[in-house]
Amino acid sequence: MSMTKDTILEVRDLKTYFPTRTGLFKAVDGVSFELKRGKTLCVVGESGSGKSVTARSILQIVDRPGRIEGGSVLLTRADGSTTDLAKLDPRGRAIRDVRGKEIAMIFQEPMSSLSPVHRIGTQIGEALRIHFGTPKHEQRERVLELLRQVEIPRPESAIDRYTFEFSGGMRQRVMIAMALACNPSVLIADEPTTALDVTTQAEILDLIKKLQQSHGMAVLFITHDMGVVAEIADEVLVMYRGKVRERGPVEQIFHAPQDDYTRRLIGSVVKLEKKAEVRLARPAIPAGTPPLLDVRNLSLTFPSGLKAVDDVSLTVRPGETLGIVGESGSGKTTMGRCLLRIYDAQAGAIDYRRPDGQTVDIRTADKAALEKIRREVRMIFQDPVGSLSPRKTVGQIIAEPLKIAGMKGRELNDRVADLMQQVGLEPTWRERYPHAFSGGQRQRIGIARAIALNPRLIIADEATSALDVSLRSQMLDLMMKLQDKLGLSYVFISHDMSVIRYMCDRVAVMYRGKIVEVGDTDQVVNNPAHDYTRALLSAIPHPDPRNRRIHTRFRYDAGRTLSANG
Amino acid sequence: MLRYIAKRMVFAIPTLFAVSIVAFIIIQLPPGDYLTTLMAEWASQGGAVEAGTVAAMRDRYGLDQPVYFQYYKWMAGILMHGDFGISFDFGKPVTELIWNRLGFSLLLSVLTLCFVWAIAIPIGILSAVRQYSISDYTATFLAFFFLAVPDFLMALSAMYIMSAWFGQSVGGLFSPDYVDAPWSFGKLVDFAQHVWLPVVVIGLGSLAALVRIMRANLLDELSKPYVTTARAKGMSELELLLRYPVRLALNPLISTLGWILPAVISGEIIVSVVMSLPTTGPLLLRALLAQDMYLAGSLILLISVLTIIGTLISDILLAITDPRIRLQ
């Protein structure tokens, strides 16, 4: 590729290595690309592909012991002068002058990427002080202007608040304001929307696009989500294990991919665009079947006065998957936890039909009854790292519910081995600890633990949200396989409509503690009755660059007051 | 905030009552009372005691009355007149004895705290930033060495070295000439010459804990994403270190500040005895040995009051320094 006058940053043959005990880990291995004024380059790949390290190498902020071993990062300024950033001392003055001023960066975790004990105004204004020595009162003026640009409501009071007083989306806006403070010519965004739910993601993508146009910045956007790539990219770089697998204009990547890996990435997203084939083929559950779980008028109000669950009624039939969808804060997780009495709902009934046909109200069940029910109703959690004890082997983790149920000796061993096989793990791995497994494998461990006691109902709370897209469909396929084999029912809680569409028979849409719509998945997805459902659906990034729709999506604003901490 | 403090104060009252009762019972637990101790002492000196004298003294001190009545009398004195009773051993009011020594105890504690923080925080930062380097290992080794050496041994060695090699007068907080002299510039200089030795001896022993806490806190903070964010802003490494991770790593240390208040009374008894410091520590030890119950009881009560106040102060300090606590 040739240098044109629009090229701001040119990365050539970049190599960043991490020395480890077992040898050199080549996190970035000969990566080249260019960033052009006003254009967006998306770097896409699964976790561990080196895309984040590539971005950090540009600013030389790779975590120790990582080091740039070779290659060049040429930054061309408006006056025509050029600097090779890779040759600068990582602690030196020269590279510090580039950071934040010419190249700014925003990060994935808007919570932990901002200091919790400094006011946001101070954190945003700091860049101005460092690079221009702007005096305090001028800083404040500029910060207010920036907060207005990123559309934070009531900037005059927001400026003196702390990060934890903001929601995830608002925090990411603060990050963006910080990055824009010195009018950089390049913005590097490292998975800025991964931790946000779809509607907030759509808003942040909109904002970045708008600011890019008004500031004429080059954007390097890192993501693992092909849908996001299709929505925003001009050019795409596909990375796998530190190497570039393919690069080119977004049209070409999506409609004429050259590389197998690219095809697989696109395939895994497109697969989630429709219902799973196993579910299409399955006969419908007879409508007259008595429900396994019958929730009526369930309500939970937190001591703060927040109505987390507000008069929720729903049913789950045997062998069925009920999806609960909604954005963060909609009360879906709280509702799921009420079903297992992790939280005590204050009103309503949760009628659960025992195998012998009797119904028990979980909400008022006594301790003995609850213990029995909890063997039949299990839970899978979102965070595959946090929900497994790091001090127990995988064998011990899976055996735990069995031991509590009184199983021991050879029978226990065989059962654990059997369970591991069912979820696609080698039984010989039973002596390993959770940290030796990847995120997807850890979630399989969680599933094995959940099905250990042959449950009848599993509540899966965002079970696939922490996984890469390619792993996501595998995990859903596994869950459906187990459902058919063991006759399970699922309550599948997710903020991701595409996951719900892929696997759920019916779906309930939750908004601010209330169910606004329930129905068969096909009907809700294709013909939503409630405006909120429409907004949720139209915020899903669509993996086709020819049909970009996220910027023209339907917004649901009825009765919604935008607030800084809402 | 004020309401919160007032609420905490009110909650402290039942705690204090409970503590005073427990303290009183504990003092009564060992067999015998102050007079038994006194008679044993007289007997060891060869003096014979007539039974009538003992009975008369027991009556005078009120030791023949039931325990709950003694407690009631003591408490009533404190609440009505601020009178903590009389020390049998010294024959003086308890308040007079305690106030004399409390000032020095407080001064010594504060000086020691300043010394320890001034040394431990920079060493902790260095250890964390240069983790697993020679300087980290050296600092860690020294800190643990001083932790491991018993403090009386350290006090004795320090006194020996200072007096044998440098000819300085050691022990106490003043030279003999100044002990009873009124405060003057000369006395202040003399105090400064004496006080640094106990400060160093006591401080070195508690250095290790603080260095390790600081190092561990900072190591946690250094790998947090907000550090990378600040670096990406173009901040210099030193400013970044002090402004972000160190600032956050200090928060848990601030909560330990409240612990020094109760330690003012009971802290470093052994070192104080060895170095004959005029602090409350040796006084408490002596009162307990002699079963001087009003003195011991008052000191224990004072320790509990200071514990409660100390905890409150550190909670307030933490709320001031950490907005997450203040606003939630």
Judging by DSSP bridges, how do beta strands A243-249 and A235-240 pair with one another? antiparallel
* pLDDT score at A273: 80
pLDDT digits 0-9 by tens, A50-103: 888 999 999 999 888 888 998 999 999 888 889 999 889 888 899 999 999 999
CATH of domain B100-326: 1.10.3720.10
The CATH number fitting domain A7-271, selected from 3.40.50.300, 3.40.50.2000, 3.40.640.10, 3.40.50.150 = 3.40.50.300
pLDDT at residue A59, rounded to an integer: 93
Contacts of A60 (CB under 8 A, 6+ apart): A68, A85, A86, A88, A90, A95
Lowest mean pLDDT segment, chosen from A23-37, A263-277, A332-346, A445-459 = A263-277
CB pairs under 8 A between A and B: 75
CA–CA distance, B250 with A259 (Å, rounded to integer): 51
Residue A561 reports pLDDT greater than 50: no
**Residue A194, strand partner residues:** none
Q: Which of B229, B237, B248 sits opposite A114 (nearest CB)?
A: B229
Q: How confident is the model at residue B255 (pLDDT cuts 50, 70, 90)?
A: confident
Beta pairing partners, A511: A514
Least confident of A501-515, B110-124, B164-178, B254-268: B254-268
Distance in angstroms (rounded) separating the CA atoms of residues B140 and B213: 12
Instruction: Considering only the beta carbons, identify the residue of A108, A126, A165 that sits closest to B233.
Output: A126
> Residues B65-103: pLDDT tens digits?
787 888 888 888 888 888 888 887 888 888 888 887 888
- Rounded to two decimals, the pTM is 0.80
Residue A562: per-residue pLDDT? 40
The CATH-assigned architecture of domain A277-386+456-542 is 3-Layer(aba) Sandwich (3.40)
Q: For strand A23-36 and strand A7-20, is the pairing parallel, antiparallel, or unpaired?
A: antiparallel
According to the model, what pLDDT value does residue A140 have?
93
- Ranges of each domain in chain B: 16-83, 100-326
Of the partner residues A107, A114, A116, the one whose CB lies closest to the CB of residue B324: A116
Q: Tell me the residue type at B117.
A: W
Q: List chain B residues with CB under 8 Å of A63.
A: 223, 228
Question: What pLDDT sits at residue A443?
Answer: 87
The residues facing A43 across adjacent strands are A222, A237
B65 or A512: which leads in pLDDT: A512
A112 at interface of B, judged by CB pairs closer than 8 A? yes
Among A273-287, A398-412, A536-550, B199-213, whose mean pLDDT is lowest? A273-287
Residue type, A423: V
* CA-based nearest residue in chain A for residue B326: A117
Instruction: Write a three-state SS string for A370-406.
Output: HHHHHHHEEEECCCCCCCCCCCCCHHHHHHHHHHHCC
Domain locations in chain A as residue ranges:
7-271, 277-386+456-542
Which residue, chain included where needed, has tokens 């940053």?
Answer: A9
Residue A363: left (phi > 0), alpha (psi -120 to 50), or beta? alpha
CA dihedral B141, B145, B147, B152 (to 10 degrees): -160
pLDDT at A316: 92
- Which range, A44-53, A514-523, B302-311, has the best average confidence (pLDDT)? A514-523
- Give me the pLDDT at residue A566, please: 35
Give strand ranges (E) for A113-242.
Answer: 186-190, 218-223, 235-240
Could you tell me which of A382, A401, A393 has the C-alpha nearest to residue A496?
A382
Distances A529 to A517, A519, A537, A548 between C-alpha atoms, Å: 7, 10, 12, 23
| Chain A: closest CA distance from residue B257 (Å) | 20
Query: So what's the pLDDT on residue A245?
Result: 93
- Residue A185: per-residue pLDDT: 93
Note the pLDDT of residue A179: 92
Please write the tens of the pLDDT for every residue from A297-330: 999 998 878 888 999 999 999 989 999 998 877 8
What would the pLDDT profile of A197-248 be if each residue is shown by its tens digit?
Answer: 888 888 889 899 989 998 889 999 999 888 899 999 999 999 998 999 999 9
Query: In this predicted model, what pLDDT tens digit does every residue of B97-134 receive, in sequence order?
Result: 888 788 888 888 888 888 988 999 999 999 999 888 99
Distance CA A140, CA A146 (A): 10
Both tokens of A518, joined, read 């329930």
pLDDT band at A464 (very low <50, low <70, confident <90, very high): confident
| Inter-CA distances, B197 with B14, B160, B173, B205, Å | 40, 12, 9, 13
- The Cα-based distances of A174 to B9, B238, B243, B307 in angstroms read 40, 25, 19, 42
**pLDDT above 90: percentage of residues in chain B:** 12
Residue A532 has pLDDT above 80, yes or no: yes
- What CA–CA distances, in Å, run from A488 to A80, A97, A205, A318, A454? 65, 59, 38, 7, 9
Q: Is the pLDDT of residue A3 over 60?
A: no
> What per-residue confidence (pLDDT) applies to B47?
66
Is residue A249 reached through a cis peptide bond, with omega within 30 degrees of 0 on the bond before it? Answer: no
- Smallest CA–CA distance, residue B259 to chain A, in Å, is 24
Q: Which chain B residues have a beta carbon less than 8 Å from that of A157?
A: none
Inter-axis angle of helices A469-486 and A439-451, nearest 10: 20
pLDDT of B192 over the 90 cut: no
